[in-house]
Amino acid sequence: MSGRARPARQRRAELSQHFLHAAAAAEIVQATSISHSDLVVEIGAGRGALTKALLHRTQRITAVELDTFLAARLQQTLGPGVQVVAADFLRWPLPQDTYRVLGNVPYAITTGIIRKLAFAANPPADAWLVVQQELARRMCGPPYQGETLWSLRLKPFWHLEVISRLPKTSFNPPPQVDSALLWMSYRPRPLLDNRKAWQDLLQHSFNSRKPMGETLRRYVSKTRSRRLCRDLHFAPGSLPSELIFEQWLGVFRYLQRVGALDQ
């Protein structure tokens, strides 16, 4: 980057920069349960609309911004009360203390950000993320749409919910897609105790593209497979995406109980 400062209104399109208007940022913060004692990590602080709205809730803010020009402007504008970090969030080390996350997420790397937060050694207590509406629905699954590999990966460890829809006019410049506020709340007591076995089961089942009756034959006999389908109320011909989370949880717990996942 050259030493000459870019005009304040110029954006870097390659960073998926769509800046929130102040009114929209205030509504987003109002929708959260962030309190004055919370440490908040803000992803993609941009021009500071969310940061400024957050300051009405807490003074403990670490704002992470990849654009060094915007990061420098934020530090000058907001002063020492906010820690501004010029860094790539995907490479930035997460806090060791309890923290929460808020962000107008760059759409090009949304999945990478969610993956980092969801599977971190010290995940946030919760995360409020402005993302593409379609992606938010995929992450949540029902009632917004059918289950996906991502919704099933996350649900034993997170509660996920679409809090609100954000119209394109909430941003400058407006994005080409609809957006939504996605809430991810970490479960202190996960619904299962073997993350790797769960992920392996899901990955194999979705990758095989076979009906569940055939997929289950990898783990148990034909008789047990049919009985499991009957007990959990899905047809042997059902595809993996047609099962709801509770049915998947039942499949996993049964296979774990009979030792089939140890094979």
Express each pLDDT in 99-108 by its tens digit: 999 999 988 8
Q: Does one domain contain both 133 and 219?
A: no
Within 8 A by CB and 6+ apart from 259, the residues are none
171 occurs within a structural domain: yes
Q: Does one domain contain both 144 and 163?
A: yes
Phi, psi of 133 (to 5 degrees): -60, -40
Phi, psi of 38 (to 5 degrees): -80, 140
Express each pLDDT in 240-249 by its tens digit: 999 999 999 9
Cα dihedral 186, 188, 189, 195 sign: positive
Express each pLDDT in 126-177 by its tens digit: 999 999 999 999 999 999 999 999 999 999 999 999 999 999 999 998 998 9
> How many beta carbons lie within 10 A of that of residue 213, not counting itself?
17
What is the pLDDT, as a whole number, of residue 262? 80
Q: Which of 148, 147, 144 is nearest to 183 (CA)?
A: 144
3 occurs within a structural domain: no
Distance between CA 27 and CA 22 in Å, rounded? 9
What is the pLDDT, as a whole number, of residue 16? 55
Q: For position 206, which CATH number holds? A: 1.10.8.100
E-state strands within 70-167: 82-86, 100-104, 126-132, 158-166
Q: Are the C-beta atoms of residues 39 and 95 closer than 8 Å to each other? A: yes
Q: Is the peptide bond before 143 cis (omega within 30 degrees of 0)?
A: yes
Q: What is the mean pLDDT of residues 89-114?
A: 96
Of the three residues 136, 163, 186, the one that is the final residue of a domain is 186
**Whole-prediction pTM:** 0.90
What is the pLDDT, as a whole number, of residue 81? 75
4 occurs within a structural domain: no
Q: Does one domain contain both 33 and 155?
A: yes
Q: Does one domain contain both 86 and 179?
A: yes
> In the structure, what pLDDT confidence band is assigned to residue 263 with cuts at 50, 70 and 90?
low
Distance between CA 258 and CA 118 in Å, rounded? 29
Of the three residues 139, 160, 186, the one that is the final residue of a domain is 186
Task: For residue 180, give Cα distances in angstroms to 16, 130, 149, 166, 211.
Answer: 16, 6, 20, 5, 33
Asked if pLDDT for residue 226 goes beyond 90, the answer is yes
| Residue 169 belongs to domain spanning | 13-186
1 occurs within a structural domain: no
Q: For position 83, which CATH number holds? A: 3.40.50.150
Of the three residues 186, 212, 244, the one that is the final residue of a domain is 186
Asked if pLDDT for residue 11 goes beyond 60, the answer is no
Q: Does one domain contain both 118 and 230?
A: no
Asked if pLDDT for residue 5 goes beyond 50, the answer is no
Expressed in angstroms, the distance from the first to the final Cα of the chain is: 54
